[in-house]
Amino acid sequence: MVIQDTPEEWQVTATETPFTGNKTSVRTDDVVMPDGAVVRRDYQVHPGSVAVLALDDAGRVLVLRQYRHPVRHKLWEIPAGLLDVPGENPLHAAQRELYEEAYAKAEDWRVLTDVYTTPGGCDEAVRIFLARNLSEADGERFAVSEEEADMELARVELQELVRGVLAGELHNNCLVVGVLALAAVLAGDGIDSLRQAEAPWPARPFEV
């Protein structure tokens, strides 16, 4: 048996969109099950996201602390954001987010991992990049607002983040996945084993 996710699509007999928001919507599908029963499934439709685990020359990870209203927490996170345009190149989106949220740029980019954040209730797909050879960005700083106006920035040792994840002190999905993935890479085949920055992404196809 090959342990690998595979695309599959069960028959949908009816669909509707009871809610449409600014960036996401809710869809209701009537789906035919293997036993022939038709069941209703509600889920959030999401444009997709990118996240950046930015690693500096001292082995520290660039992290941000931001208020997240749905969970009523200030969470430590890595730079991340939505794919603003359908078909947008995720590398370009990641470079934009690193600039906007951390006023930084990177010379070396790799794909760290791809994830579905909550596949039982949302179709969001996230590509997490590893960015290295960091430096300060060029030009004016991005004008932040709303939750981002209160954002804090820090650089933290990778192993301290691993400790915090395993201790239940850090909860942001992209930070947890990115930190543990990088720790596994460094303990295994090394960064050169990672995919190139513009590797195909079937979950959110794009043009190079």
Render pLDDT for 155-197 as a digit per residue (tens, 0 to 9).
999 999 999 999 999 999 999 999 999 999 999 999 999 999 9
Number of folded domains in the chain? 2
Residue 207 lies in a domain: no
What was the pLDDT predicted at 148?
Answer: 64
The pLDDT confidence band at residue 149, using thresholds 50, 70 and 90, is: low
* Three-state SS at 180: helix
**Pair (21, 114) in one structural domain:** no
Say if 130 falls within a structural domain: yes
pLDDT digits (tens, 9 = 90+) for 77-87: 999 999 988 88
Q: Check residue 45 and give its pLDDT.
A: 97
Average pLDDT over residues 67-77: 96
Q: What is the mean pLDDT of residues 116-133?
A: 97
| Amino acid, single-letter form, for residue 37 | A
Q: Is residue 7 part of a domain?
A: no
Q: Which domain range does residue 74 map to?
A: 49-196
Is 75 domain-assigned?
Answer: yes
Distance CA 202, CA 126 (A): 11
Look at residue 113 and tell me whether its pLDDT is greater than 60.
yes
In this structure, what token pair is assigned to residue 153? 């920035």
pLDDT category at 74 given cuts 50, 70, 90 is: very high
Question: Is 3 a member of any domain?
Answer: no
> From CA 116, how far away is CA 34, in angstroms rounded?
23
> Could you give the CA distance from residue 24 to residue 110 in angstroms, rounded to a whole number?
28
Residue 66 scores a pLDDT above 60: yes
Average pLDDT of the chain, as a whole number = 94
Cα(113)–Cα(191) distance, rounded to whole angstroms?
A: 12
Cα(12)–Cα(14) distance, integer angstroms: 6
Q: Is residue 96 part of a domain?
A: yes
Active site residues: 148
Q: Give me the percent of the chain exceeding a pLDDT of 90.
A: 88
Q: Does 24 reside within a domain?
A: yes
Select from 129, 135, 106, 115 the least CA-distant residue to 191.
Answer: 129
Answer whether 46's CB lies under 8 Å from 25's CB. Answer: no
Give yes or no: residues 68 and 168 share one domain.
yes
On whether the CB atoms of residues 80 and 117 are closer than 8 A, the answer is: no
